[in-house]
Chain A
Amino acid sequence: MGKQGALRVVFALWTLNALLPVLAMIERSLTPGGHLSFSAYGRLFFWGREWNLLESSLGLALATAVVTGILGLALSLLLARTDIPGRGILSVLFVLPLLLPPTILAYGWSALLERDGLLGKIWGPSGTAFLFSSRGGVLVLAASFLPLILLFTMTSLLSANPRLEEAARLSAKAPRILFAITIPQSAPALLTGCLLVFCLVLGETGAPTFLRVNVFAVESLAQFSAFYDFSSATAAAMPLLLITLLAFWGLHRLRAHRAAALQPVPTGTGLRRIRLGQLRPWFFLPVILLWTALAGLPLLALLIRSLEPAAFAEALTRGGASFGRSLLYAGLGATLVLFFGFLAGYGRADGTLGYGAEAIPLFLFALPGSVLGIGLISLWNRPATGSIYGSPMILLLGLLAQYMVLGVWVTRSALTFIPRSMEEAAAMAGASSISRLTRITIPLASKGLVASWLLAFLFCLRDTGLAMVVYPPGRETLPVRLFTLMANGKPALISALCILILLSAAVPFGALALLFAKSRS
């Protein structure tokens, strides 16, 4: 089998792992008693409550996507295309919330607004009334998912072809160029980011549950874990699956139209930063205040709460095993993502694999973790496959399905900088395809591969939606342990666990930031 065949087989294996659970879920929802029936759907959607939940979820997702889209565009322009002071540090600070499950930010906000909290003393009960409402949900989820928009839009702004703006500078002033050339160039990236935020919020269960916002995603989880009604659980997951599919179909049409025309240059050199002049401090101030409000204050509140004597010792005693498991599963998950993601990205870059090699992983990334989890259980909870269902293997397969897109993206980005002639020269020298891959391409893309592993590690570490559904008995991860403790655990203990998660993510995040800074310099 040649190189192309091997790449196709690897991607086919991943696709089977990712899509079979979805198909198994559909099959389970349609065969509640072992034969074809729509009764699970009928039971579920007979009551108006389900429709109200769906409406509430769509409203929450849409509002969060719009808020993050507007904030994300403005911030991306400021951080990527102006000379605002401290833009490097600001970029890192704004991406920080992505390391944490949204539940932690929600908990941080509640610590901030409770009666004895930093802001609770000033605002009184109106603060908590705001937080434990849909508007509070939008605030917390926007803070959590804003980094996604920033990553997409800033990357697009930084890698845009500078000549397109220079051509406009010969006849137009900066504001017109910004709106007519710069922003439209980044519009596909912004839209993709907004769509991902929409889908991820739609599937989010932890933060809405904590904030007592009724959402549809909790429904299938409740049917599964509270009522043990697996058919209804799978049926309840279907609307989210369909909405995600629909959203991606729309995005595909939009991007297919624009992507053919938009060909950013890989170097990104020569981009002109807009000089803010004497206004620099006046732009810096609201940006740092925004970060403080969205993430800085809730994290500070958690830190203050965790500073009780013995809080960290108790956290390690009660959560130490979960912490160790989280690191282990995240490490293994990231390694799987790196292997499959690299090969899929490589196949995509050299044209062996088509658009599906990016679209299917992206769809799985946007699919709610709880939905994927229910699909995995539908597939593996059978007598013949009990060893997978009852072991961490099921979680690892889920992490691979959900986060492989990160490996594909980073690989493609890394390979952009390696001329095709490098491998061609090796071929002329008589190197086999495996030798070309292992001795030329992989060493040249090594920094990208490290970045890919770190990024996947971070996402696997913070995962809650998938782990909550599929963790094997007695082997829960730290975010799951934290979520269960939130119901009745001591505030100092929970805060200490939150800080522990933040610290465990900070090390790979710091390494990632350093790697990125080095590659840009």
Chain B
Amino acid sequence: MSLLNLKDITKIYGARKALDGFSLKVMEGERVALLGPSGCGKTTALRLLAGFEAPDRGQVEIAGVPAAAEGRILVLPEARLLGMVFQDLALWPHFTVRGNLEFGLKAKGVPAKERKARIREMLERVELLEYAAAKPAALSGGQQQRVALARALVMRPRALLMDEPLSSLDVDLNRRLREEILRLHQEFQFALLYVTHDRGEASALAERVVLMKLGQVEMEGTPDQVRAYLEGQSDYRGHW
């Protein structure tokens, strides 16, 4: 059974169709990249899965349970047990690093002792334990990325949704964080849905790549298959 399932989704903003009969399945523990140019509907797909938006047509299922359909949200975001790393990270500036990790655990009623242990463990994993009392603004870009990852993973989500979180980083930091994401995936075995417009990032992180165009799936396959496909498409050459 698939963990994340978008079934024949249409989502319209004003006069623009962001998704047009779009379908996608992600299995438990699988690493999938949504690849495509700006405005092709990648982020919309992610926001539908997170529960921030409802589809105009079609159905969203999480672990086989209908979560949203036909303009209605049936399962609220906090009940979907998903984690998300935003493009701008969305770290809460008035909380410390520890506070950012603790907020969700408190909301879920995790006992104080367990909270403390889980936060410590997660900060150790991302090598930020010594920055636990720091505010996000005091950290470097790479450290902020790791806090955002840690904040999502400390909730032990079934799937992690990532919306181009590495797009603003330099090449070296981008590579190191990709390795870190893979290491954490190996360790926690969450399903990963990674949105990007960068073919290199998609190839490095995903075992399956879904290529999108104008709100629809253009093709999907292994990174090698998608690369071969793109190389045969003259209009894609040089873009990614």
Contacts and interface: CB of A to CB of B under 8 A. Distances in A.
A181 B91 CA distance: 11
B104 A258 contact: no
Interface string A253-290: 00000101111010000001000000000000000000
Nearest to A258: B94
A308 interface: no
A424 interface: no
Nearest to B83: A170
Interface string B144-164: 000000011001000000000
Contact of B90 (A161, A171, A176, A180): A161
Given A161-B90, A163-B86, A170 B104 contact: yes
Interface string B45-69: 0000011100000000000000000
B51 A173 contact: no
Interface in B22-78: 50-52, 76-78
Contacts of B91: 167
A170 B94 contact: no
A185 B94 contact: yes
Nearest to A185: B94
Given A167-B92, A171-B155, A184-B94, A261 B135 contact: yes
Contacts of B94: 184-185, 187, 258, 261-262
Q: Which of B52, B84, B105, B136 has most A Cβ within 10 Å?
A: B52
B195 interface: no
A166 B90 contact: yes
Contacts of A328: none
Interface in B84-108: 84, 86, 88, 90-94, 103-105, 107-108
A170 B93 contact: no
Contacts of B152: 170
A485 interface: no
B6 interface: no
A170 B92 contact: no
Contacts of A163: 86, 88, 90
Contacts of B50: 166, 170
Given A169-B51, A170-B155, A262-B93, 18 more contacts: A163-B90, A166-B86, A168-B103, A168-B107, A169-B78, A170-B50, A170-B82, A170-B83, A170-B152, A171-B105, A171-B107, A172-B107, A181-B92, A187-B94, A260-B137, A261-B93, A261-B135, A265-B88
19 contacts: A161-B90, A163-B88, A166-B90, A167-B90, A168-B107, A169-B51, A169-B52, A169-B77, A169-B78, A171-B78, A171-B104, A171-B105, A172-B107, A181-B92, A187-B94, A258-B93, A258-B94, A261-B136, A262-B93
- Nearest first, the 8 A-B pairs at minimum CB distance are A171-B104, A261-B93, A172-B107, A163-B90, A261-B137, A167-B90, A169-B77, A184-B94
Interface of A: 161, 163-164, 166-173, 176, 180-181, 184-185, 187, 258, 260-263, 265, 272
